[in-house]
A and B are shown apart, each in its own frame.
Chain A
């Protein structure tokens, strides 16, 4: 019935498992090594400080200043986090503490669908809804003429994209807070809101910070949706209504034309390396933060 006997099948299965595990274990090192190797050409001829703080981006003249892209990325990411954190926090408290159980069952598919919508579709939505909203209503309201394609548009689209991600973690955190703790507080005569404010939020604070950190790392690398609405103008932005350019958008937009200039190719790989490092750094930081906190 089988080609091999039981023992041989065990050996085959076991080796395949071990081989697959090795692929996974080496993947982060491969990612880092591969990108570092490719960006080595650029790092060899420029110092890291020059690359990060220089304003001028003229690949044909051999000037590679990443500052406008980094600033653009940071603005979009921070703005998105500032918008979505309070929304997620309040909703998570509402869903876990105040709302009926039934409501959580409605909320789960909503989060799933929001998380599942592809980033290109978020981009289309941004172009259809957010960009006209900014150019027709929000901009004139502040007395600013704008096309709508701006840092703010990127941040708004991005904030919606990370809501399911942050909200999911926050709901999980609030659910792990022991019921005894809440009951003890309530039995001492505290109102429900006092319980939430003084006990629940304090107990959950490290988890909340971690969820925002994970959201930050995720938002920083988001490509297509931001690329479609952010304007893609290589300039350090001065207000949220200015168009900007982000690091992932830089890579995605320019890949077709780089092959003629080796340093350009290397520069885009350096941008990818930067994204990888930022993402790994934030994730590591948050993991250690949680691990440390969990000891007490």
Chain B
């Protein structure tokens, strides 16, 4: 009896270590294969020029249009989502702090729409576009991606704002401030680190998602110069280059995937670093 118990425990411990190792190894393989394949095709020309004629048949040019397009689109969407998202998160935690049921209902709705696949946002964004008479454009892409990252941003901010202690609100009220001053001057300052993390998380989602911009942002070989014109994005440029039968173009797709991965890794690093840095300004109770 005792021996089988021991054997069972040993067996499962080995299995556990194995699965943990599998996850670490998979991450290693992903990073390695993307870097190994991507580095071969990556060149300075690719990063600094737009596709010239015949780029998709293996001629010269680069993916600057997609890099700039993705950054502009993701920054636009993140700013818009921030402008809508921060007030909602603050409202939930300052104005509705005594109405637990209502706040929980809003959280529930946010969790529901967080789970909606991005392709559904893409299809909805397209419907919306047709409805208000917009062409595939940077603006349509920004609106769709904003809807897609809103729940992510609000819920992450909400999780941070929840932790602001009651005492701080009471102290602020006792000094004669009103609720919106408490929200925008005290709560935001107390939660800077969390808000930055939430923004960077949403930015990462916005720049990496392809399905929602597929029909709304379109694609172009030019740099973005107007809100009303189509814009190229990195995920779609990877997708289109991979679909090409020409090996050189496929190799460039791997290089583009490397660029996107590096951007994501940088954002992830920044969010850790900045989060720690602004932690110091927080008042501790």
Question: How distant is the Cα of A124 from the Cα of B20 in the complex, in angstroms?
Answer: 24
Q: Which of A90, A117, A287 contacts B30 (CB 8 A)?
A: A117
Given contacts A21-B106, A31-B113, A223-B117, contact A160 B26 (CB under 8 A): yes
Q: Report A-chain residues with C-beta under 8 Å of the C-beta of B115.
A: 214, 217-218, 279-280, 282-283
Decide: A87 and B120 in contact? CB cutoff 8 A.
no
Given contacts A24-B88, A119-B208, A252-B211, contact A124 B180 (CB under 8 A): no
Q: Does A268 contact B (CB under 8 A)?
A: yes
Question: How distant is the Cα of A127 from the Cα of B128 in the complex, in angstroms?
Answer: 34
Select from chain A the residue with minimum beta-carbon distance to B257: A124
Q: Does A17 contact B (CB under 8 A)?
A: yes
| Closest-CB distance, A12 to chain B (whole angstroms) | 8
Select from chain A the residue with minimum beta-carbon distance to B5: A191
Decide: A6 and B116 in contact? CB cutoff 8 A.
no
Decide: A10 and B33 in contact? CB cutoff 8 A.
no
| Closest-CB distance, A288 to chain B (whole angstroms) | 10
Decide: A272 and B123 in contact? CB cutoff 8 A.
yes
Q: Does A118 contact B (CB under 8 A)?
A: yes
**Which of B91, B95, B108, B257: most chain A Cβ within 10 A?**
B257
Interface residues of B in 7-37 (CB under 8 A from A): 8-9, 12-13, 15-20, 22-24, 26-27, 29-30, 33-34, 37
Question: How distant is the Cα of A35 from the Cα of B184 in the complex, in angstroms?
Answer: 36
Decide: A163 and B119 in contact? CB cutoff 8 A.
no
Interface residues of A in 236-284 (CB under 8 A from B): 248, 251-252, 255, 268-269, 272, 275-276, 279-280, 282-284
Question: How distant is the Cα of A222 from the Cα of B204 in the complex, in angstroms?
Answer: 17
Decide: A109 and B23 in contact? CB cutoff 8 A.
no
Contact digits for A211-233, partner B, Cβ 8 Å, 1 yes 0 no? 00010011011111000100000
Q: Does A62 contact B (CB under 8 A)?
A: no
Given contacts A14-B180, A93-B16, contact A279 B116 (CB under 8 A): yes
Q: Report B-chain residues with C-beta under 8 Å of the C-beta of A37.
A: 127
Given contacts A120-B239, A129-B29, A280-B112, contact A223 B9 (CB under 8 A): no
Q: Report A-chain residues with C-beta under 8 Å of the C-beta of B179.
A: 10, 14
Question: How distant is the Cα of A218 from the Cα of B112 in the complex, in angstroms?
Answer: 11
Question: How distant is the Cα of A14 from the Cα of B182 in the complex, in angstroms?
Answer: 12
Q: Report A-chain residues with C-beta under 8 Å of the C-beta of B34.
A: 121, 124-125, 128
Decide: B120 and A252 in contact? CB cutoff 8 A.
no
Q: Which of B85, B181, B210 contacts A120 (CB 8 A)?
A: B210
Given contacts A13-B87, A118-B210, contact A27 B113 (CB under 8 A): yes
Q: Does B45 contact A (CB under 8 A)?
A: no
Question: How distant is the Cα of A222 from the Cα of B208 in the complex, in angstroms?
Answer: 13
Question: How distant is the Cα of A255 from the Cα of B19 in the complex, in angstroms?
Answer: 40
Q: Does A145 contact B (CB under 8 A)?
A: no
Q: Does A114 contact B (CB under 8 A)?
A: yes
Select from chain B the residue with minimum beta-carbon distance to A29: B109
Contact digits for B107-140, partner A, Cβ 8 Å, 1 yes 0 no? 0111111011111111110111001000000000
Q: Does B149 contact A (CB under 8 A)?
A: no
Q: Report B-chain residues with C-beta under 8 Å of the C-beta of A6.
A: 178, 181
Decide: A118 and B106 in contact? CB cutoff 8 A.
no
Q: Interface residues of B: mostly helix, strand, loop or mixed?
A: helix
Decide: B257 and A120 in contact? CB cutoff 8 A.
yes
Decide: B91 and A17 in contact? CB cutoff 8 A.
yes
Decide: B84 and A222 in contact? CB cutoff 8 A.
no
Q: Report B-chain residues with C-beta under 8 Å of the C-beta of A228.
A: 239, 242
Decide: A279 and B120 in contact? CB cutoff 8 A.
yes
Interface residues of A in 174-233 (CB under 8 A from B): 191-194, 214, 217-218, 220-224, 228
Contact digits for B132-172, partner A, Cβ 8 Å, 1 yes 0 no? 00000000000000010011001000000000000000000
Q: Report B-chain residues with C-beta under 8 Å of the C-beta of A90.
A: 12, 15-16, 18-20
Q: Which residues of B contact A (CB under 8 A)?
A: 5-6, 8-9, 12-13, 15-20, 22-24, 26-27, 29-30, 33-34, 37, 84-85, 87-88, 90-92, 95, 106, 108-113, 115-124, 126-128, 131, 147, 150-151, 154, 178-181, 183-184, 204, 207-211, 214-215, 235, 238-239, 242, 253-254, 257, 260-261, 264-265, 267-268, 272
Task: Show 13 residue pairs from A and B whose CB-CB distance is below 8 angstroms, ordered by the A residue.
Answer: A13-B180, A20-B91, A21-B106, A25-B106, A28-B116, A94-B13, A95-B20, A119-B211, A120-B260, A124-B254, A220-B117, A251-B122, A272-B124
Q: Which residues of A contact B (CB under 8 A)?
A: 6-7, 9-10, 13-14, 16-18, 20-21, 23-25, 27-28, 30-31, 34-35, 37-38, 86-87, 90-91, 93-95, 98-99, 107, 109-110, 112-114, 116-125, 127-129, 160, 163, 167, 191-194, 214, 217-218, 220-224, 228, 248, 251-252, 255, 268-269, 272, 275-276, 279-280, 282-284, 287
